[in-house]
Amino acid sequence: MNCVIAGGSRGIGKHIAEWLASSGADVTVFSRNSGDLSQIQNITHIPHGFSVGGFNETKIPEQIDCVVYLPGSINLKPITRLNLDDFAKDLQLNLLGAVELIKACLPGLKRSEFRSKNILLFSTIAAKMGIPFHASTAACKAAVEGLTKSLAAELSPNIRVNCIAPAMVKTDLSAPLITNQEKENILSKRYPLKRLGRIEDISAVARFLMMEDADWVTGQIISVDGGLSSLLV
């Protein structure tokens, strides 16, 4: 199996990349930093930051079975403190970077003989819930969800496209919001399951969506959020 992952050097992306590599897949990771990925067998790291355009298509494998795009931002500001540059930067990282990668990978996906070749994108529950100070992040991720559904229709029946929409997960990206145990306890009380998400919670769903077990799943936005977006508890 050949997989391309954007944003796979840490957090959820790294967990997915390590699992794929340990399962024998060949994994190409595009990210700004390599972390310790270069020491892991079956993983090839290629430096690239998706906050800017200019993706180098020559680095894409000839044949691709799965594409995962994880880069995102948590830009929490009131609308009065957001300018158009903030929206443009978030849009580049969250949406346009995904479009660049997908367009570059489509020829390789079409060459794949994997029965369940697929694309996996990432959103946030803020795209469908009204959460204060999420205007830029929510708008950009809502665009990702629209892209998911449109591509799922356009690329069917040969390529599946799905999207995971997590709530707050304990990663490096969310660390500035969870600076101590007291804050974590306060945030956890909002969730029906009374805890924040773990990297493993998200990667478990990602693994299912990437494999043949999910062969009849496409065009879905799957909330992995401890029940926050659907339960009033």
Residues annotated catalytic, as ranges? 123, 141
In this structure, of 51-60, 125-134, 161-170, the range with the lowest mean pLDDT score is 51-60
- pLDDT given at position 77: 94
Average pLDDT score, the chain: 93
- pLDDT given at position 9: 85
Q: 30-54 burial by CB neighbour count: b if 16+ within 10 A, else e?
A: bbeeeeebeebeebbbeebebeeee
Fold of 2-169+198-224: Rossmann fold (3.40.50)
- pLDDT given at position 51: 79
Contact yes or no for 145/139 (Cβ under 8 A): no
pLDDT tens string 193-211? 999 999 999 999 999 999 9
What percent of the chain clears pLDDT 70, i.e. is strictly above it?
Answer: 100
